[in-house]
Amino acid sequence: MFTRFNLSFGLSIIFALLLAVPVAANAYPIPENGARLIGSHELYKVKTGDYFHSIAQSYNIGLIALMDANPGIDPFLPPPGSLLKIPSSMLLPDVPYTGIVINLPELRLYYFEKDSNTVHVFPVGIGRQGRSTPVMQSKIKIRIKNPSWTPTQKIRADYLAQHGRELPPVVPAGKDNPLGDYALQLAFGDGSYLIHGTNQNFGIGMRVSAGCIRMNPKDIAWLFEQVAAGSPVRIVNQPIKVSTEPNGENILEVHSPLSANENKREDNLIWVGDMVKFKNRDKVNNRKVREALLAPQGLPVNVDI
C-alpha cells in the first residue's frame, strides 16, 4: 500500500527512489507553529555484503527501528538491489522540548540543545524485559568520565549462571568495562540508572541492558560535553505519536509496545488507538489508523482520507 507523506518529508516519490547517502549528522531543526514532524523520508539500496547491523550503524539508527520499518526482509541477508526504508523521519514526542528525553518504545534519545532551535536524535539500548528502564522525570546527578562499574548481586549471580565464572565486585575503567568511557548518573531512586557508553559493537537500538540507557561511544562522548549536572531528563513511554500539522495533515507514528504484559491494557495498541485524537478528526481515514496500529513500523504516515 502506498503511503502519502506531506511536503515536509522533502521529496516526491520519484526523488525518494534515489539512493540515500548515509550521513553522520543527527541534528534537526525544531519545527515551528506547533508542527512536530522532523527529518525526511529516505531509501537505501542494498549492496552485496550489506546487512541490517552495518546499515544501521552507517545511519546511526537503531537495529530494531530498521527491522520494524522493513518487515519481511531478512536482516542478515537482505537481497542486493532491494530498497530499505530508513527511519530518519519522526514525530517529536509529546513532551516539553528541554534537556534529554528518552522515548522507550522507539528506542531513541532526544537532546534539545539549550538556547538553540535544534534537537539531536540518537538510538539507544534500554532495559530488557524483567529489568525494564522505568518511566521517570529526573535530572543528571553526576557526570562521570572513565567510570568504574559495580555490578549488583543479581547481575553477578546471573552472569555466574550464564557463563560459569564470576564477575569481580568492581570492574575498573578500561576496555573490559561495559559502561564505556562516559556515564551520566540520574538522580532517580538509588542512583543506579545511568546513561552510558559501551565497549560492545551491538545492543544499540535494542532491549538488552539491565535497566540503564546505552549509547554508541561517539554519541555519549558528544552528549557528555553538552550537558551539565542538573540538566533535566525525562523518560517516557509513548508507543503512539500523533500530530495535526499546521497544513492540516494528520500524521501517525506507531511503535511496538515494550511488552504485551508489562502495562497490560495500556499496551494494547488498538485500545489505545481508540483514544488517539487529531485536531481535525473528520479528515482521518480510520482504516489507515487501524492498519498502522496492527502493524507498527515506527514510521510517520499520513492518515488523511
Q: How far is residue 102's CA from residue 121's CA, in Å, rounded to a whole number? A: 10
Spot the catalytic one: 41, 53, 163, 212: 212
Helical (H) or strand (E) element with 21: none
Q: Are 297 and 71 in contact (CB under 8 A)?
A: yes
107-110: long-range contacts (C-beta < 8 A, 24 or more apart)? 107/62, 107/64, 107/65, 107/205, 107/206, 107/207, 108/62, 108/65, 109/195, 109/213, 109/215, 109/223
Distances (CA, A) of 108 to 45, 90, 291: 24, 11, 23
The single residue listed with the C-alpha cell 473528520 is 282
Q: How far is residue 226's CA from residue 114's CA, in Å, rounded to a whole number? A: 9
196 is catalytic: yes
* Three-state secondary structure string covering 62-114: CHHHHHHHCCCCCCCCCCCCCEEEECCEEECCCCCCCEEEEEHHHCEEEEECC
53 is catalytic: no
Which residues does the annotation mark as catalytic? 196, 212
